Amino acid sequence: MAWTKYQLFLAGLMLVTGSINTLSAKWADNFMAEGCRGSKEHSFQHPFLQAVGMFLGEFSCLAAFYLLRCRATGQSDSSADPQQPFNPLLFLPPALCDMTGTSLMYVALNMTSASSFQMLRGAVIIFTGLFSVAFLGRRLVLSQWLGILATIAGLVVVGLADLLSKHDSQHKLSEVITGDLLIIMAQIIVAIQMVLEEKFVYKHNVHPLRAVGTEGLFGFVILSLLLVPMYYIPAGSFSGNPRGTLEDALDAFCQVGQQPLIAVALLGNISSIAFFNFAGISVTKELSATTRMVLDSLRTVVIWALSLALGWEAFHALQILGFLILLIGTALYNGLHRPLLGRLSRGRPPVEESEQERLLGGTRTPINDAS
């Protein structure tokens, strides 16, 4: 069935804003500017402040939810309303996981390339599968276990490509290894977030935009408050600011004042994540969760291609192999081989039962799969 213009628009919006989200964050990291108190020029390394901006973008999804609810008022379509009452504090544990995982990933993005960052996020499949067996009582089929094994193999290849690539003064080998490990650690936390959402949140049938916005509100408030103690906590070699602390928000604002393009990059990151969440949720509703997964894979290709074109990283053939293996692992885990095999062997159209709501195999994407 041919896509409508609206569906094409949603798919394009998801692909573009998802790519902008990662690229704008990396663009901000690449800037050099003077800080406060006449400090010498240094790179913009403020991952926790960037995470606050990301949660601000997620928080804005609440506005979109209430606009949709106002539009639905008086109409038969009440999809913007939850079907049963819920306690907003249910979103606090997933929000804490999201806050921790996102902060780790922004720290890692300072240390490694944008394409490796995007590819290594595929590790979430491994931990989601294992945690769903351990805590949700799921049974994974053979194809899902094969998908996990393929994902592990793909991660090894991508990591090997990082080790063999040429490293400049901005990304030393030790930093790249640390960054890659931090990304994988963050996926463990993201997998815990997904399990918590599955166990405690989804049963209340909360509208996804409301869920994203509520988690964004918690993350924004908590992480903003944590910026105060972070200003005084020494971080040694992990610090990217002249004072050597975990985060220096004042230094970040001084750098923005010296180099206004940093503000453009930050605004791009904040706005893109809001539109990406809206587009992703709409693609799942209008098309399918599988389409959303395919578009997310295309986002990795776009980020990689633009990073090469902009000279942010060097080409390495192993990354192509690693990405293809990761793609196979993701497809196997989410059951994309079943419709294809069914069509080839039986000559009948693929079954798409429950695909509008969840990926095949019973797994869900995280509510705010956007960072």
**Does 369 reside within a domain?**
no
In sequence order, what DSSP letters do the residues of 122-136 get, joined into one string?
GGHHHHHHHHHHHHS
Q: 0.85 exceeded by the pTM?
A: no
Name, in order, each residue with C-beta under 8 angstroms of 369's C-beta and a sequence gap of 6 or more. 280, 296
| Rounded Cα gap, residues 177 and 159, in angstroms | 8
Q: What is the pLDDT of residue 290?
A: 67
Residues 293, 24 contacting (CB under 8 angstroms): no
Q: Which ranges in 231-288 belong to alpha helices (H)?
A: 249-258, 261-286
| Rounded Cα gap, residues 304 and 121, in angstroms | 14
**Does 49 reside within a domain?**
yes
Phi, psi of 14 (to 5 degrees): -65, -45
Closest among 364, 99, 121, 86 to 211, alpha carbons compared: 86
Q: What is the pLDDT of residue 355?
A: 39
**Does 57 reside within a domain?**
yes
| Rounded Cα gap, residues 348 and 270, in angstroms | 44
Q: Quick check: helix, strand or coil at residue 245?
A: strand
**Does 221 reside within a domain?**
yes
Phi, psi of 168 (to 5 degrees): -95, -170
User: What DSSP designation does 197 have?
Assistant: I
Q: What is the pLDDT of residue 88?
A: 85
Q: What is the pLDDT of residue 274?
A: 87
Q: What is the pLDDT of residue 360?
A: 30
Instruction: Answer positive or negative: Cα dihedral of 313, 316, 321, 325.
Output: negative
| Rounded Cα gap, residues 207 and 111, in angstroms | 36
Phi, psi of 32 (to 5 degrees): -120, 130
**Does 322 reside within a domain?**
yes
Give the burial string for 284-316 (b: 16+ CB within 10 Å, else e): beebbbbbbbbbbbebbebbbebbbeeebbeeb
Q: What is the pLDDT of residue 37?
A: 79
**Does 75 reside within a domain?**
no
Domain residue limits at 292: 5-33+45-69+86-344
Per-residue pLDDT of the chain (371 residues; tens, 9 = 90+): 567 888 899 889 999 999 999 999 999 999 999 988 778 899 999 999 999 999 999 999 888 888 888 887 766 555 555 456 778 888 899 999 999 999 999 999 988 888 889 999 989 889 988 998 998 888 889 999 999 999 999 999 998 988 887 655 556 788 888 999 999 999 999 999 888 888 776 677 788 888 889 999 999 999 999 999 999 999 887 788 898 999 999 999 999 999 999 999 999 999 999 888 888 878 877 877 667 777 888 888 999 999 989 888 888 888 899 999 999 998 888 877 776 666 666 654 444 444 333 433 344 455 456 55
**Does 27 reside within a domain?**
yes
- Structure tokens belonging to residue 170: 């901005």
185 class by beta-carbon count within 10 Å (0-12 exposed, 13-18 middle, 19+ buried): middle
**Does 351 reside within a domain?**
no
Number of domains in the chain: 1
Q: What is the pLDDT of residue 306?
A: 93
- Structure tokens belonging to residue 94: 């997933």
